[in-house]
């Protein structure tokens, strides 16, 4: 028997169903349809508008995205009348008010800077990686020391371990259960990460600049029905539409990209192809001295450059971390795409302000691996200086 004031079980299931449809439509950017579902919920149980700030918040975001600013404000105020301290609602209200302050005009879209990407540089990278992969099937994934050949099982194990580290973060920050989600991997190489990712995610897509690498990936993952690989243009994710993935990842790649514009373009592209609330994890070596890379040694990425490159994008930073035991100072960054116009604080968006934490990434991956990789040698080297926060 239901208690007085409680929603009876059948009706509750219906509302949960409506909410999940509304939420998925909002995430997919279909705000008008999503709004219909939020409104159905509220018509059914009007008091939910007061009791469930999340429903009301998402409804207000849809209204705002559709340019219905007055109604968005009304919605957010009804929530605040009952929960005056709800931080998400307070931020949204102040954002709506700042829009209204500009006489009801909607915020002009920031000029999207045309990215200058030298095709010569990209083609040079493609030649380099095609050449390296033709010399040795797995040898240039986690470079081997001279004369070494990867033990296939050990190779697979390093992929599993990196994916464990990714999953820790996806589970912490993501909203969609990986087994129901799609993930895109940029710079998939021969499928070392894609294979274990395919055991966790519903669909895995991998792109790489090198056709040779993609060919090996297809062979390496041939037993898996849920993985698709393709060769890309080396700087964009143009074959994927906006808001189509829940997760995106790239590891072991940016430290090799010599052109900083290409790296920044990939980060912007990753945000574009993610659904709101989707997660992008990327890693790079934070010890680089030169702004321009050479050969397979990537350009230096700094917090200042990231701030400038992403200033007009919809995201919040969830993690900037470094593994204290890692001599090459790999930096792992996790971003979450926000809904269009969703308010964020300066600290959530600024790489220069966001607090760096310590978290494992490289340590433990190669410790008991017998095949000698360059990582083994690097671990004996002294700690390199972290240049990520350099300002010049
Ligand atoms: C060291 S491998 C790492 C592969 C994979 N992420 C892993 O860790 O197993 C670097 C990969 O990045 C790819 N790559 C390099 N530059 C690229 C670019 N501009 N666009 C896409 N892929 C690129 C290379 O072809 C290569 O497969």
Determine, yes or no, domain membership for 91: yes
pLDDT at 337 over 70: yes
Model confidence at 6, in pLDDT bands (50, 70, 90)? low
Claim to verify: residue 57 and residue 204 sit in the same structural domain: no
Per the domain annotation, does 364 fall within a domain? yes
Ligand 1, atom nearest to 266 Cα: 20
Residue 200 resides in a domain: yes
289 and 361 within one domain? yes
Sign of the alpha-carbon torsion through 378, 139, 388, 118: positive
Residue 234 Cβ inside 6 Å of ligand 1? The answer reads yes
Pair (209, 173) in one structural domain = yes
Give yes or no: residues 270 and 234 share one domain. Answer: yes
Q: With residue 330 as reference, give the H or E element that holds it.
A: strand 330-337
272 pLDDT above the threshold of 70: yes
Which of 163, 217, 187 shows the shortest CA–CA distance to 296?
187
Looking at the structure of the chain, the number of domains it has is 2
Predicted pLDDT of residue 174: 98
- Sort 244 into a burial class: Cβ within 10 Å, 0-12 / 13-18 / 19+: middle
Residue 83 within any structural domain of the chain: yes
Residues 252 and 333 in one domain: yes
How large a percentage of the chain has pLDDT more than 70? Answer: 91
Q: Determine the distance from the C-alpha atom of residue 51 to the mean position of all C-alpha atoms in its chain, rounded to a whole number.
A: 32
Report the percentage of the chain scoring pLDDT > 90.
55
Query: Residues 79, 131: one domain?
Result: no
C-alpha distances (whole Å) from 85 to each of 4, 61, 81 are 28, 18, 10
Task: Please name the residue that has the structure tokens 């994916």.
Answer: 163
How close is the Cα of 210 to the center of ligand 1, in Å? Answer: 8
Which residues share a beta bridge with 183?
204, 247
Domain assignment present for 156: yes
CATH number for the domain spanning 35: value is: 1.25.40.10
For position 86, what pLDDT does the model report? 76
> Residues 359, 131: contact at Cβ < 8 Å?
no
pLDDT attached to residue 50: 62
Q: Give how far Cα 286 sits from Cα of 209, 233, 264, Å.
A: 23, 25, 15
On whether both 128 and 56 belong to a single domain, the answer is no
pLDDT value at residue 63? 84
Answer with the one of 51, 74, 101 that is the final residue of a domain: 101
Cα 313 to ligand 1 centroid, rounded to whole Å: 25
> Is pLDDT larger for residue 197 or for residue 65?
197
Q: Would you state the structure tokens that stand for residue 307, as one six-digit string?
A: 């701030």
Question: Rounded to two decimals, what is the model's pTM?
Answer: 0.76
* 32 in the same domain as 178: no
pLDDT (tens digit, 9 = 90+) per residue, 85-133? Answer: 777 778 778 777 766 654 443 333 333 334 557 788 899 999 999 988 8
Answer yes or no: do 49 and 163 share one domain: no
Tokens at residue 299, please?
């350009």
Measure 165 CA to ligand 1 centroid, in angstroms: 19
Per-residue pLDDT at 66 exceeds 60: yes
- Helical axes 53-65 vs 69-82, angle rounded to 10°: 170
* pLDDT digit string, tens, across residues 120-168: 889 999 999 998 888 888 877 878 888 888 999 999 999 999 999 999 9
Is 384 within a domain?
Answer: no
Q: Is residue 114 part of a domain?
A: no
User: Domain of 293?
Assistant: 119-378
Judgement on whether residues 151 and 250 belong to the same structural domain of the protein: yes
Residue at 385 is within a domain: no
Give one DSSP letter per residue of 38-69, joined into a string: HHHHHHHSTTHHHH-HHHHHHHHHHHHHTT-H
Residue 192 alpha carbon, nearest atom of ligand 1: 9
Pocket lining: 209 vs ligand 1, CB cutoff 6 Å? yes
Start-to-end C-alpha separation, the chain: 68
Cβ–ligand 1 distance for 195 under 6 Å, the answer: no
pLDDT tens digits along 223-239: 999 999 999 999 999 99
CATH code assigned at 193: 3.40.50.150
Average pLDDT, the chain: 87
189-207: b (≥16 Cβ within 10 Å) or e:
bbbbbbbbbbebbebbbbb
Whether 329 and 388 have beta carbons less than 8 Å apart is answered as: yes
CA of 293 to the centre of ligand 1 (A): 15
Same domain, 244 and 334: yes
131 with 165, same domain?
yes
Q: Does ligand 1 have an atom closer than 6 angstroms to the CB of 255?
A: no
Q: Of 166, 187, 256, 366, which is best to mutate to test ligand 1, by the most ligand atoms within 8 angstroms of its C-beta? A: 187
For 231-257, what is the mean pLDDT? Answer: 96
Q: How close is the Cα of 252 to the center of ligand 1, in Å?
A: 7
Distance of CA 91 to the CA centre of its chain: 23
């Amino acid at each position: 028997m239901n208690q007085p004031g409680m929603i009876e079980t059948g009706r509750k299931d219906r509302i949960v169903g409506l909410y999940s449809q509304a939420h998925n439509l909002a995430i997919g950017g279909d705000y008008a349809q999503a709004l219909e579902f939020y409104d159905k919920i509220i018509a059914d149980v009007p008091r939910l508008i007061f009791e469930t700030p999340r429903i009301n918040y998402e409804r207000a975001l849809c209204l705002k995205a559709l340019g219905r600013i007055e109604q968005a404000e009304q919605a957010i105020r009804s929530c605040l009348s009952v929960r005056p301290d709800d931080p998400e609602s307070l931020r949204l209200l102040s954002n709506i008010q700042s829009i209204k302050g500009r006489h009801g005009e909607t915020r002009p879209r920031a000029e999207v800077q045309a990215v200058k990407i030298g095709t010569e540089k990209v083609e040079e990278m493609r030649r380099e990686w095609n050449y390296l992969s033709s010399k040795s099937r797995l040898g240039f994934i986690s470079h081997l020391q001279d004369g070494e050949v990867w033990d296939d099982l050990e190779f697979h194990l390093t992929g599993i371990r990196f994916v464990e580290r990714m999953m820790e973060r996806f589970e912490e920050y993501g909203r969609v259960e990986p087994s129901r989600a799609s993930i895109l991997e940029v710079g998939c190489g021969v499928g070392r990460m894609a294979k274990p990712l395919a055991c966790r995610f519903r669909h895995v897509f991998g792109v790489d600049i090198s056709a040779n690498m993609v060919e090996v990936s297809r062979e390496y993952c041939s037993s898996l029905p849920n993985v698709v690989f393709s060769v890309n243009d080396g700087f964009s994710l143009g074959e994927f539409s906006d808001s189509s993935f829940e997760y995106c990842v790239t590891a072991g790649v940016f430290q090799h990209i010599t052109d900083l514009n290409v790296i920044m373009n990939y980060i912007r592209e990753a945000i574009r192809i993610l659904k709101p609330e989707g997660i992008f994890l990327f890693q790079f070596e934070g010890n680089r001295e030169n702004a321009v890379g050479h050969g397979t040694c990537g350009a230096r990425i700094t917090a200042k450059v990231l701030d400038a490159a992403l200033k007009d994008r919809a995201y919040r930073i969830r993690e900037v971390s470094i593994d204290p035991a890692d001599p090459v100072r790999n930096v792992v960054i996790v971003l979450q795409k926000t809904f269009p116009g969703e308010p964020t604080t300066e600290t959530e968006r600024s790489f220069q302000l966001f607090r760096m934490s310590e978290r494992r990434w490289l340590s433990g991956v190669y410790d008991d691996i017998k095949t000698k990789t360059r990582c083994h040698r690097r671990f004996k080297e002294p700690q390199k200086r972290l240049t990520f926060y350099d300002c010049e």
